[in-house]
Amino acid sequence: MKFPKISPSVLPFVNKPYILFFAITERCNLRCEYCFGKYYSETGELSFKQIKKIFTEFYGLGVRRIAISGGEPLLHKDIDRVIKMAVELGFEVGINSNGILVPFHIKALRLVSNLSISLDGASEKIHDKYRGKGAFKKVLVGIEAAHKAGIPLHFCCTLTDSNLKEWPNILKLAKKYNALVLISPLYPRIRGEGGLMVAKAWENKMKKTLKDISKAKEKGANIFYSKETYELMADWPDYTNDISVSKIPGHAKCFAGKKYISMDSKGEILPCLRLDGTFKGASCVKLGVKDALKNMPSPPCKSCRWACFIEYNLLFNFRAQSVLNFLSNRIKDGKA
């Protein structure tokens, strides 16, 4: 079992962040049809020197976990140096990738605590529908390379209209690589009015799928999120919105902007990833991390349907099921 990096900031009554979600680049080598990212710009990325300064300041405040994503993070010219530097500073580092460039970064990726690779299907037909022709073959090459190198793997599956019945097959494939699977629904807000129409048409099917996933988790399936998280997502009251300005019954107190924060490729921070593009963040480059945190906008919501934030909120509120699930995941990652 790999023990997490600990600091007093992990405690709910300590008003300091513990996790930093960092989108290191907006660029991506795929054009997934359902994606809400603006992955077409090469401008505005932080330099290695700027990233090191910001990471050092965050470490001093108590952050111990950094989740690096994009765009496609492995496209950043300094990604290997950034991973090595972050680990040397004392961070636990996770990487979210589409998997295609993994074989070219094995040495650096051996340092991470987990590599999360997007996988929407266990076959070429389903995975490639929204991610593009040839994507499945390329991601399998990346998965094989990471597994051979002993890198702890997670698979990230986004539920869409094409793969609502595919997740059991992804679980089977994941077992081959000792991987945990993070399953999340496609949130309607990222597709505008068209997304809401789709959401209305499939909401009942989505709720049933989430409940089926919850049952599979209860039986010990290799699913990352806790059973409680899937139950809360299935019982979400308003399919037209993925956030709520009032606290939804059953949901834990939200720690967005307190225990976890989000930083974009330009060094601007927001309480969470969900608010990216909604508010202007505070700049760590111009203000420094401490002052940026003081000037960061407050989240307008108190509950959401986003699996990762539901899980983190349960965990930071020390909900028993989530804590036990966290410990179980650590053990499984240690075997990978």
Q: Could you tell me if residue 5 is inside a domain?
A: no
Q: Could you tell me if residue 189 is inside a domain?
A: yes
Q: Containing domain of residue 274, as a range? A: 15-335
Give me the residues paired with residue 323 across strands.
Answer: none
Q: Could you tell me if residue 6 is inside a domain?
A: no
What are the DSSP calls for 242-301, one per residue? Answer: SEESSPPTTPPPP-BTTTEEEE-TTSEEES-GGGBTTBPPEEHHHH-HHHHHHHSPPPS-
pTM for this structure? 0.93
Q: Could you tell me if residue 262 is inside a domain?
A: yes
Number of domains in the chain: 1
Q: Could you tell me if residue 193 is inside a domain?
A: yes
Q: Could you tell me if residue 9 is inside a domain?
A: no
Q: Could you tell me if residue 324 is inside a domain?
A: yes
DSSP SS3 for 116: strand
CATH code for the domain of 302: 3.20.20.70
Q: Could you tell me if residue 139 is inside a domain?
A: yes
- pLDDT, block means (10 residues), the chain with 336 residues: 73 89 91 70 83 98 96 96 98 97 98 96 92 94 98 94 92 97 80 54 86 96 97 90 92 95 95 82 96 93 94 94 91 66
